[in-house]
Structure 1
Amino acid sequence: MRLLSSRTAAVAAVLVLVLVAGAAGAEEKWETVAEKPYLVKVRPRPGSNARDVWAEGDIAASATDVQAVLSDVDTYRLWMPYVKESRTLKELPDGARLTYTRLDLPVVSSRDYVSRVVTESKLAEDGTGVFAQRWTAEPDAIPERRGTVRLRLNEGSWHVEPRGEGKSRAVYRFSVDPAGSIPGFLANMGQKDGVADTFRAVEKRARAHEEARRKAK
């Protein structure tokens, strides 16, 4: 990611936050903004400055390995674009986890968020089934940090299914209020580039996980 131009980096980071301005009405239709390499659709989110984003595409890694890397929130800082801090704050009685993430972004100031992460379903031991993970914001769970903007609307999900040997299909949905103004051209371009960067990062990490798993046998 460090090899990206400053413009491209800024564009990709914007997508991570869905930094899109403008109010929206109810029952908005999805607008397709990209079809390849990943399907990306957006729609205004009523009552906020955010947009809902729906992204779907193939990942050249097994669903088992994708599940493993997406479940390991504490390592996101090592491979997820723009994530500089990521850790589990505590395990909750209902099986959910409270996590903290800080993003170090070009162009705009750093953002952070606290999430309640729930694993709704896991793959079976033979790799069949569905991995489903969902998160919602818990912005007041810990004090805000000086010089960092706390995101108060941040929710989304991953839905991953196997698609044959070493392949999977993923649906990534999220909504984030940027908590600040962002240049419009960055928001519009970032919807495509940021999703692609996220999918590729997941794929790369999952393939590395698979290689390490094979070597450990």
Structure 2
Amino acid sequence: MNSFSGRFALLILVLLLGAPASAEDWRLATEQDGIQVYLSSVPGSKYQSYRGLVDINADVRTLVALQENLRVACKWIYACAEMRLLKYAGDDVWLYMQTQLSWPLRPRDLVLHVTTERSADGAVVRHLEAAPDYLPAVQGMIRVPRLSGLWRMVPLADGRTRVTYQIRGDPGGSVPSWLANRFVIDAPLETLRTLRAVAERQPRPAPQ
């Protein structure tokens, strides 16, 4: 698999209900196992944005590698059923993703345009934007019409990484309010919890 194919596996994410917000009114919704999840109302939308924060005992390079392997990334991204590379062009990548969600939701699919920025201090930011018209509709799938978000990975002095995962979107179709409210908690919490578990099992790189 192309080493770039997954680097935007971040996905992903996913999906569906959540975007970055520069001036949103974030409120802490839950804090579990060292992971904080914040929510924010979105004007004109019935879906809330979510933001998950966690410190992971792994360096940025390790986390980037886990995102660059699509097969592995789909295992730690909440509700991911399939993910594959559509196009790679330098710091821009287009990904296709299908979700596996609980009844009564129908499966969704998503085309993501992901752009990566790297800073001199070693931080990596990946911007996510839905590109629903990039591919024709897939039979049996509801195409996610709107999504924006980011992954931010900032190195800490002790070798850990502070990770932010933030999403805002519209899943398309009809979603019961109780399920939407559960999703915006479960998606960041489970994604970051599983990513942390996988990352902290990886061998630490030798000091340079």
SS of the aligned residue for 1:35 comes to strand
Structure number with higher helix proportion: 1
Cα-Cα RMSD: 2.5
Q: How many angstroms does 1:32 deviate by?
A: 2.1
Whether the 8 Å CA contact 1:74–1:88 is kept in 2: the answer is no
CA distance in 2, matches of 1:39, 1:16: 19
With normalisation by structure 1, the TM-score equals 0.75
1:47-126 alignment to 2 at 5 Å? 47-73=44-70, 75-92=72-89, 95-107=91-103, 108-121=105-118
Equivalent residue, structure 2, for 1:137: 130
Of residues 155, 171, 174 in structure 2, which corresponds to 1:181?
174
In 1, Cα distance between the equivalents of 2:137 and 2:101?
Answer: 18
Count of aligned pairs between the two proteins: 187
Distance (Å, rounded) in 1 between the aligned partners of 2:52 and 2:171 = 19
Q: 167-176 or 110-119: which moved more?
A: 167-176
1: CA distance, partners of 2:161 / 2:204 = 19
Asked if the contact 2:37–2:189 (Cα under 8 Å) also holds between the matched residues in 1, the reply is no
**CA drift at 1:29:** 2.5
- Extract unaligned runs of 5+ from structure 1: 1-14, 20-26
Question: Percent identity among equivalent residues?
Answer: 27
The answer for the alignment partner of 1:46 in structure 2 is 43
Matches of 1:212 and 1:144, distance apart in 2: 42
Deviations 1:150-193 (A, max 9, x none): 00111110111122445211111111202133232333333333
- Using the size of structure 2 for normalisation, the TM-score is 0.78
Q: 2:193 aligns with which of 168, 189, 200?
A: 200
Q: d(CA) in 1 for partners of 2:158 and 2:68?
A: 21
Q: Residue by residue, what CA displacement relative to the aligned partner does 1:40-73 show, whole Å, maximum 9, x if unpaired?
A: 2212222333322122121232222112212334
> Does 2:162 match 1:169?
yes
Q: Distance in 1 between matches of 2:147 and 2:71?
A: 18
Higher CA-based Rg? 1
> How many Å separate the matches in 1 of 2:60 and 2:67?
10
Check conservation: 2:16, 2:144, Cα contact below 8 A: no
| Cα shift at 1:121 | 1.2
**Other structure's SS at 1:81 match:** coil
Are residues 1:159 and 2:146 paired?
Answer: no
Whole-Å separation in 2 of the counterparts to 1:212 and 1:74: 21
